[in-house]
Amino acid sequence: MITMDDIIREGHPTLRAVAKEVPLPPTAEEVELGKEMLQFLKNSQDPVKAEELHLRGGVGLAAPQLDISKRIIAVHVPSVDPEKPENGISTVMYNPKVLSHSVQEACLGEGEGCLSVDREVPGYVVRAARITVSYFDETGEKHKIRLKNYEAIVVQHEIDHINGIMFYDHIDEKNPLHLKDGVLVIE
């Protein structure tokens, strides 16, 4: 079971490396890793489990954050609509790629955080508001999905991890709280 002790922190060289592609279909070990990553996210969002295991809440985790330089990410974003629980996203993506993105940009009003960053980093992290992503599942089957707003931001954050990019690389150093006109702020 993955815990906070397994997650490497900023400054570790693996977080700045471009991760290697996963051969398809993924190995049994890579499939198991994906399942454990997703389970960590579910545990981190369960108030009882999170407290018991001392987990920080997370909606995404990339293999490089576990010091494993492979292109594997897990995302678990529950639906905000209790009437439509299927509207969330909960999956493991092998070799995910952004195929296209909107001109419209978006950011989270409260900024972004990261399980590998133990400090507050103020500033807007501007990303594409909508993306189309391709990825492979644990059987090696290819998928293509469209995501928007919060889910798109989460997936872009995790794909950045497999490309050696940290979220704060997107923050304007000189003016972290400045936004261009037309940027959608998601609260």
* Token code pair at residue 92: 């493991």
Residue 12, annotated as binding a ligand: no
- Choice among 141, 158, 173, 187 that is catalytic: 158
Other CB atoms within 10 Å distance of the CB of residue 62: 28
User: Would you call 11 helix, strand, or coil by DSSP?
Assistant: coil
158 annotated active-site? yes
Residue 114, annotated as binding a ligand: yes
Residue 170, annotated as binding a ligand: no
Q: How close are the terminal C-alpha atoms of the chain, in Å?
A: 32
- How far is Cα 162 from Cα 179, in angstroms, rounded to an integer? 26
Query: φ, ψ for residue 85 (rounded to 5)?
Result: -60, -20
111 Ramachandran zone, left/alpha/beta (phi>0; psi -120 to 50): left
Place of tokens 């090696």: 140
- How far is Cα 57 from Cα 55, in angstroms, rounded to an integer? 6
Instruction: Give the DSSP letter string of 106-174.
Output: EEETT----TT--S---S---EESEEEEEEE-TTS-EEEEEEEHHHHHHHHHHHHHHTT--GGGGS-SS
In the annotated binding site for Fe cation, the residues are 114, 157, 161
Catalytic residues: 158
In the annotated binding site, the residues are 114, 157, 161
